A and B are shown apart, each in its own frame.
Chain A
Amino acid sequence: MKLREFPAKRKSAKAACVFDLRLYVAGQTEKSVMALANLKRICEAHLAGQYRIEIIDLVRAPQLAAVDQIFALPTLVRRLPEPIKKIIGDLSNEERVLVGLEVQRVRG
């Protein structure tokens, strides 16, 4: 079950899907709530208008865990731009999230 909570704010067609992100969680746990909050904050601060977030609740769609090679939760997957990057944890360290997403370079 995919929940599109954050439809991308389209400023231009090109910029729309620069960052295609998926956040895998298992129900409304403390960690998943925190991860989502952290992700939203970081994206808004650094990637406004260039990202799309999909939230996948593995409790409701367990088959996706194997398909997308998920083992730790929460996991943030950067599907685009390639290559695929994974960040596991509650995303509490903003610096590391940005490094993980290679956001600095894209911006720079």
Chain B
Amino acid sequence: MEKTIQPTDVQPGIPKAPTGIEGLDEITCGGLPAGRPTLVCGEAGCGKTMLAMEFLVRGATEFGEPGVFMMFEENASDLTANVRSLGFDLAKLERKKQIRLDFVHIERREIQETGEYDLEGLFIRLGHAIDTIGAKRVVLDTIEALFAGLPNHAILRSELRRLFRWLKDRGMTAVITGERGEHSLTRFGLEEYVADCVLVLDQRVQEQISTRRLRVLKYRGSVHGTNEYPFLIGARGLSVMPITSLQLNHKASADRILTGIVRLDEMLGGKGVYRGSSVLVTGSSGTGKSSLAAKFIDAACRRGERALVFAYEESPAQLLRNMRSIGIHLGPWVAKGLLQIHSSRPTMQGLEEHLVVMHDLVRAFQPSVMVVDPISNLTLDSRETEVKPMLMRLIDFLKQQQITSLFTSLAIGGGPTPEDSQLGVSSLMDTWLLLRNVEFNGERNRTIYVLKSRGMAHSNQVREFILSDKGIDLVDVYLGGDRVLTGTARAAQEAQERAATELRVRDHRRKVEQLTSKRRAIDAQIAALHAQAESETAEVDFAIAQETLQAETSQSNIMAMARMRGGRIGDNGRTKGKQ
């Protein structure tokens, strides 16, 4: 999608002139055949003139190839006014000699034909215009008007043949527009003369939504995309959306960014999602998808990064108000220019056009984070075969720009497996968060889990997702019996557990006290026994003392008696012996 063409994109052999039109150079592998005419045909109002004009303006301003715009139906001032809406200032480009406009006015009533003539006047005019600015590109829009102005078609045809050859000889890369005919590509069969490259534009209304499409019908000497590609005429010109990117080569960042919800980041391996990855958030109504997205945006803006939001259900003011109610203040980010919110009705345009609008805005704003809320609104009316390639294209584009994207999606039906309702979109996403309502115990509660997240270890746990005026929080759910407890059931379980803990604590305390008093009783008993033992000891001592005293008393009595009897006391044996 670069303005400069990759060397690998260009086929050897046939030189190409890049159009600078978003996506067209990709389809044509480098641009239109240089130095040759290209036919652009389609019905009225399908964008032929715009395509031709952008080819010329971009050629002049971006590729240094001035161009001549020769118009046959619209006059120069009308055209100038018409393309001003695309941001092209033709008057300025004319002054700078990058563009030259020439209105060939053919008024049938003024013209009388008589005898032989040729269109040499046109050649001279064109040649003069080319020489004046050194043009390399030419647009003839719509040359078929000549057929209405000039009755002699035989002359006209041979002259047109000569004109296209002349353009080729002069090396002009030319775009010739032609109105679609009933049985042929163009009403007067211009394809007969311009055979190198043919682009067909088409505008179709499907389910009340009109979409413009472009197809490369023929490109001699070059490969090209053969599909029909939707395109849009936006504020910055044409954007063609090649349905599938030719390569799958975007770089993968190892950088991680946080989602803004701490517990969610924990679930995603602790570090959030990869930069440039895509996140799908699905859930039925009221599961908190938008809130999660808002938190994601808030986190990006807090980091000082730009965020772009496409809201398909709420107006910007409504979104800001609603998010304020859960404590997410996005208003200041809008004021700071970090956040852009684009609200529109999904039915306003076809899916393709929405995506082209996204492209344009992303290119203009260069955000690092993008949110689409919800993508399911875009995809509801469209067939799945259309949706997936378009989203693939968008995600490819975002990845190339390293923009982290978050898409919310409404799970339809709310069946047991919301996974089924995702239109095969989920396979394009790197991370898939599933939000679910759990109805139990007379209330609905929100749960969240990570269904997949490529390239990281992620939690397999279901968490309860709580929205309050303080914001978003994730809490662990309780597994009670065989089911997940959330909300008041979880609160009751928590209270119950708290009560049980309290009881246990008290029980412990009581037991400790019991033990203490028992110990005290034992101590008292020991003291009593000690006292008893002491008193017994005292008694024994007393008795012994008494006995001793008695014994001493009786001894002294004996001695006294002996003295009184005149014997010797104590040594009477020995005394007796010696005697």
Contacts and interface: CB of A to CB of B under 8 A. Distances in A.
Interface of A: 24, 26, 29, 31, 34-35, 38, 58-59, 62-63, 65-66, 69-75, 83-93, 96-97, 99-100
A91 B115 CA distance: 6
Contacts of B114: 87-93, 96-97, 100
Contacts of A99: 112
Given A62-B124, A65-B121, A72-B117, 9 more contacts: A26-B124, A35-B115, A59-B124, A62-B127, A66-B128, A72-B118, A75-B117, A87-B111, A97-B114
A35 B110 CA distance: 19
Contact of B118 (A31, A62, A96): A31
Contact of B121 (A26, A35, A89): A26
Contacts of A93: 114-115
Given A69-B104, A88-B111, A74 B117 contact: yes
B559 to A, nearest CB: 176
A73 B112 contact: no
A89 B111 contact: no
Contacts of B105: 69
B57 to A, nearest CB: 20
Q: Which of B102, B110, B120, B146 has the most CB of A within 10 A?
A: B120
B122 A71 contact: yes
Nearest to A99: B112
Nearest to A85: B110
Interface in B81-122: 102, 104-106, 110-122
Contact of A73 (B104, B119, B127): B119
Contacts, number: 98
B150 interface: yes
A99 B117 CA distance: 18
Contact of B115 (A58, A70, A90): A90
Contacts of A97: 112, 114
Nearest to A96: B114
B462 interface: no
A90 B121 CA distance: 14
A102 to B, nearest CB: 10
B498 interface: no
B125 interface: yes
B129 interface: yes
Nearest to A24: B121
Interface size class of B (residues with CB under 8 A): 20 to 34
B120 A26 contact: yes
A71 B112 contact: no
Contacts of B119: 71-73
A91 B116 CA distance: 8
Nearest to A25: B120
A62 B125 CA distance: 6
B125 A66 contact: yes
Contacts of B106: 71
A46 to B, nearest CB: 15
Contact of A62 (B111, B116, B128, B146): B128
Nearest to A65: B125
Contacts of A72: 117-122, 150
CB-CB nearest 3 A-B residue pairs: A100-B112, A92-B115, A62-B128
Contacts of B124: 26, 58-59, 62, 65, 73
Nearest to A27: B120
B112 A85 contact: yes
Given A63-B128, A65-B128, A83-B110, A71 B121 contact: yes
A73 B115 contact: no
Nearest to A100: B112
Q: Which of A38, A74, A84 has the most CB of B within 10 A?
A: A74
A91 B113 CA distance: 8
B116 A92 contact: yes
Contacts of A34: 115-116
Contacts of A89: 113-117
Nearest to B150: A72
Interface in B139-162: 146, 150
B129 A66 contact: yes
A59 B150 CA distance: 23
Interface string B487-501: 000000000000000
A71 B104 contact: yes
A90 B128 CA distance: 24
Contacts of A70: 121, 125
Nearest to A77: B110
B181 to A, nearest CB: 23
A97 B104 CA distance: 23
A63 B385 CA distance: 55
22 contacts: A31-B117, A31-B118, A38-B115, A63-B128, A71-B104, A71-B122, A71-B146, A72-B119, A72-B122, A73-B118, A73-B119, A75-B117, A85-B112, A86-B110, A88-B111, A88-B117, A89-B114, A90-B114, A90-B117, A97-B112, A97-B114, A99-B112
A73 B117 contact: yes
